Structure 1
Amino acid sequence: MFAAYVTLTVVTAVFTASAAVTYLIGHDYPKAQLRMKRLPMWWRWLLGVILALGALGLLLGFAVPLLGTLAATGLVLYFAGALIAHLRVGSHDLVGWAVFFVTTVANLVVTLLR
């Protein structure tokens, strides 16, 4: 179980950190997503910071387990909100969302089981 926990935590942190970087550097993909979901462009920074803190929290969870659990829970809620944002505008392109959501849910499950 420990190997699954470490693997999923590292994979989730890398996925989440890479998403955070795309938001924070101003990559075109997050901008297009914000436009498509009719969200304010200044949310790009907010969402990037939330993702970065989530990734950091997951990694800090190795030293402080409660922090890792809170970070995993927060990321699951973040991606649940992303689903709502997609569905609100009628977007059915959910493959990217599903990868992130399934990874974060799996991470939360193994974190809670650990």
Structure 2
Amino acid sequence: MNVTTTVVTVIAALMSGFSAYALLSRQVWVVQPLEQYGVPKGWWNLLGAAKAAGALGLLAGLAFEPLHLAAGIGLVAYYGGAVLTVLRAKAWGHVPFPMVYAAPVVAALVLAA
């Protein structure tokens, strides 16, 4: 991987890791919308763990590229599901938020190709 790919991957991992931390620590600005969208509380730990695993996978993928690809695809699927959840809840103004987190992951995947 070149320097640009590495930097973008680290940014993507940091953003996803921060998002996982915010969910797992039950930050109000994260859990209030989840309640509004109808996401069951029983899923929150699993969703946070999935984001954390994706972030760690991106970082580990710097050394083992197949892991980078798997983690990136998993995170893109996760954030795609988040967009669909927001759309289902008709919270149109919230659609950009998961897309902001997905963008650097997509960029990391494109740069690594």
Give your verdict on TM over 0.5. Answer: yes
RMSD over aligned Cα, in angstroms? 1.2
1:91-106 map, 5 Å: 91-93=91-93, 94-106=95-107
- Structure 2: where are the runs of 5+ without partners? none
TM-score by length of 1: 0.92
Question: What fraction of aligned residue pairs are identical, expressed as a percent?
Answer: 32
Aligned partners of 1:96, 1:39: CA distance in 2, in Å? 16
TM-score by length of 2: 0.93
Alpha-carbon displacement from aligned partner over 1:77-105 (angstroms, at most 9, x marks no partner): 00110010010011112232221121111
Counterpart code for 2:89? V
Establish whether residue 20 from structure 1 lines up as the match of residue 27 from structure 2. Answer: no
Once the two structures are TM-superposed, the CA of residue 6 in structure 1 deviates from its matched residue by 0.5
- Structure 1: where are the runs of 5+ without partners? none
Counterpart position of 1:68: 68
Aligned partners of 2:96, 2:44: CA distance in 1, in Å? 20
Counterpart position of 1:40: 40
Contact 2:23 2:48 in 1 (8 A): yes
Count of residue correspondences: 112
Once the two structures are TM-superposed, the CA of residue 110 in structure 1 deviates from its matched residue by 1.2
